[in-house]
Structure 1
Amino acid sequence: MTFQPTSVPFLSTTAFNGDQNNTNVTECPQLYDWEWLHTSQPVYILIITVLGIVFNVFVLGVFCFHKKACTVAEIYLSNLAAADLVLVSCLPFWAVYISNGFNWPFGLFMCKVVNLGIKINAYSSIYFLVLISIDRYVALVHTMSHARMRRPKYAKLGCLLMWGFSLLLSVPTIVFRKVKYFPEYNANACFLEYPNMTAGLFFDGILIVFSFIIPILFILFCTIKIIQALKIQAIERLNAQNTEQKATNLMLAVLLAFLICWVPFHLVTTLDVLLRAEILGGCHLEAVLEICNQISTYLAFFNSVFNPILYVIVGKNFRKKVCELFQHWRIRKRPNSDSSRSSNLSATLKTLV
């Protein structure tokens, strides 16, 4: 018998739920054929993995090897690319897991580590966007009074704190992830086993509040103030405005992409929490949420591929850095080829003499 998940097992907490009091899964009949999950989704995950690794390594390479030091905004964007790289590096394990009929072959340690990497991305990505939004807010709204805040050392410290905060919020993944054999499904599953339903609802609530509601409120406040500041810029400050607007346009584009990719996931997670808390009910709703969980999760994963594309399309300063980096490499390569030609010529002359 093929194992049928109740939801996406790596981000959701309801798959393989160890709480015996939750009987919704057993009461409702299986309404959909899940064969498509084992065939099509591993291919999609591998495509996301390859594109995500190539694109994000490219972004990090440009930021790291360019001769100029990164600006504050670029420090935040490079950390966002690093978070996306962590995520896509974990996805191949789940491609194998799904194609293997939800049999986890990598052991308990990798079960915890892979899920930890995915959960850290869910938290850190949006908090790096919060830092980017605050930076744009200070740059455009409090240009003079808080200029000292916009220093690279403070940006690096902020990123370090966000990585630590994301790791702290991901501790339940380390504690409660288990690998257990389910004889009724013939599946050795990597799943979240909370001690009871209340704990599951509590940690899902933390995910919704700290990875979506609170950071989105910060971002919306900063975005509204930024747009207002851009509207009232004086004519004599137009050149300075254009410089800041390039970074602001990229921030707004990355933010919009994040909302498009992640809002469906958080909405589905919220409905799933309400369903398990028995505030909502019904087999039809549960079946719809199962499908929506799959779609919204893989849409969220696509954000890790979409961000580097936006850097190239919208980020004029990033494109400039790419061109300068390639020109620098070309200049360095040319003298080497010229010197090799000279050495070859001298060797030929010596042979002739």
Structure 2
Amino acid sequence: MMLNASDWLVPSVDPELDPCSNYTAAWLWLSSLQPTYMALISVVGFVGNGLVLCVFCLQRKPCSVADVYLGNLAAADLVMMSCLPFWAVTIARGYQWEFGEVLCKLVNVVISMNYICSVLFLVLVCVDRYLALVKPMSCSRLRRVSWAKRLCVGIWSLGFLLTFPTMLFRTVAFVEDANVNACILDYPHPAWRLHHNITRNLLGFLIPVLVVTYCTRHIVAALSDRGAGVLPGVRAERKATDLVLAVWVVFLFCWTPHQVMRFLDTIDYFQLTPGCLWGHILDIGIQLSTYLAYSNSAINPFLFVIVGKQFRRRAGEVFGKTLNPWSKESTYLTGSFASVNRLNEKQRISIETLDKSVLRQTLS
């Protein structure tokens, strides 16, 4: 997600000259809430996604294809959460960027990559659920872990390429109206803004939604098949699919408003809706939808815990072993004592049997 100067800087207006100056109060109110909000979701998202990655990396069983995609999704969210504090500090200081031009580019490239990579990882994991439930007999390469890892590398590379304009045009410049050195997206031509919005709306939303909708429709039909539902393998796939669908629904809830606002911003580019009132509503709407979108990265770890039954079991195994490092040794000792007890019991039974045999021979 890329934000230009108008997305971040509070407009400087003269109440006597601007009839829409009353909306400056809304901007100031948003600016006062943003640092605290961004700091909160950064901490929650960083800790939560870090724990999710620990479970996927430290679990005993090999990762499945869905695990690979969900793990990369958590990694994208984790990296983005580590970048939000830079903007929290910047907004708290009146949009004065004090971290240099290199971090200005790097931080915003990472934030931009998060969205593209996240939505594509979700598409891949939905396709994997489609192949597992709707086409269980197919031998698709997409259901191989080795190919899943290659696809993830390709998605990270594609995400970087799509954010290359951010690397080029993000810069630290003095903004006279706000009297600050701000980290802004300085496009050489306004048409770049149109290109950015269309790319995000189509590649980053419309096409993925169509693909996932197609897969989901067939997945739901497969899960409704009572005959297939009694099979142990299908039950396991169903549990994994519940988590994937929950993550997708929350993704739509968090990101759809932002995509709608980007589409309206495209319409505004053609000046089809003139007037300062519409401009202020659009600017504030982009702000609110942006921070709702940020929340998605902090919510995902809770979905893993609440919806993912298999994930909870794996987390219990991983963190149970981490918090109690003696559990393996105690299990070994317990097993050893049990083996000794069983051996002693067998010896006792053998002796008793021998004694009875000797006794019978004596009596006979």
Preserved CA contact (<8 Å) 1:124 1:163: yes
1:12 to 3, 28, 32: 3
Mean CA deviation greater in 47-56 or 193-202 = 193-202
2:252 to 249, 256, 259: 259
Partners in 2 of 1:44 and 1:185 — Cα distance?
23
Q: TM-score, normalised by structure 1?
A: 0.86
1:82 to 64, 75, 87: 75
Partners in 1 of 2:250 and 2:303 — Cα distance?
9
Matched, 1:293 2:286: yes
Mean CA deviation greater in 41-50 or 180-189 = 180-189
* Counterpart residue number, 2:36: 43
Q: Deviations over 1:299-335 (max 9, x none)?
A: 1111011000000000011001011123433663257
Q: TM-score, normalised by structure 2?
A: 0.83
**Structure 2 stretches lacking a partner, 5+ long:** 9-16, 332-364
Preserved CA contact (<8 Å) 2:2 2:166: no
* Counterpart residue number, 1:103: 96
Preserved CA contact (<8 Å) 2:95 2:182: yes
Partners in 2 of 1:27 and 1:163 — Cα distance?
45
Report deviation, 1:280: 2.7
Partners in 2 of 1:333 and 1:70 — Cα distance?
25
Preserved CA contact (<8 Å) 1:138 1:146: no
Pairing of 1:188-267 with structure 2 (within 5 A): 188-232=181-225, 234-235=227-228, 237-267=230-260
Pairing of 1:53-202 with structure 2 (within 5 A): 53-202=46-195
Partners in 2 of 1:283 and 1:148 — Cα distance?
54
Mean CA deviation greater in 267-276 or 179-188 = 179-188
Partners in 1 of 2:114 and 2:19 — Cα distance?
33
Inter-CA distance 68–276: structure 2 relative to 1 (3 Å threshold): same
Partners in 1 of 2:229 and 2:235 — Cα distance?
12
Inter-CA distance 28–173: structure 2 relative to 1 (3 Å threshold): farther
Report deviation, 1:31: 3.3
Preserved CA contact (<8 Å) 1:107 1:179: yes
Partners in 1 of 2:69 and 2:7 — Cα distance?
36
Partners in 2 of 1:179 and 1:146 — Cα distance?
51
Partners in 1 of 2:264 and 2:116 — Cα distance?
19
Q: Deviations over 1:29-63 (max 9, x none)?
A: 43321222332210110001111110011000111
Equivalent position SS for 1:178: strand
Partners in 1 of 2:287 and 2:300 — Cα distance?
21
Partners in 2 of 1:215 and 1:235 — Cα distance?
28
Taking only aligned residues, the RMSD between alpha carbons, in angstroms, comes to: 2.2
Aligned residue identity for 1:293: I
Partners in 1 of 2:32 and 2:144 — Cα distance?
49
Q: Deviations over 1:131-153 (max 9, x none)?
A: 00110010011111235431111
Equivalent position SS for 2:183: strand
**Structure 1 stretches lacking a partner, 5+ long:** 1-9, 18-25, 339-353
* Counterpart residue number, 1:341: none
Pairing of 1:326-337 with structure 2 (within 5 A): 326-329=319-322, 332-334=325-327
Matched, 1:311 2:304: yes
Runs of 4+ off more than 6 Å: 335-338
Aligned residue identity for 2:207: I
Aligned residue identity for 1:45: M
Partners in 2 of 1:115 and 1:330 — Cα distance?
37
Inter-CA distance 330–47: structure 2 relative to 1 (3 Å threshold): closer
Equivalent position SS for 1:332: coil
Preserved CA contact (<8 Å) 1:90 1:118: yes
Equivalent position SS for 1:85: helix
Mean CA deviation greater in 108-117 or 268-277 = 268-277
* Counterpart residue number, 1:31: 22
Report deviation, 1:123: 0.6
Aligned residue identity for 2:122: L
Equivalent position SS for 2:181: strand
Larger radius of gyration: 2
**Higher relative contact order, chain-length normalized (CA < 8 Å, sep 6+):** 1
Equivalent position SS for 2:171: strand
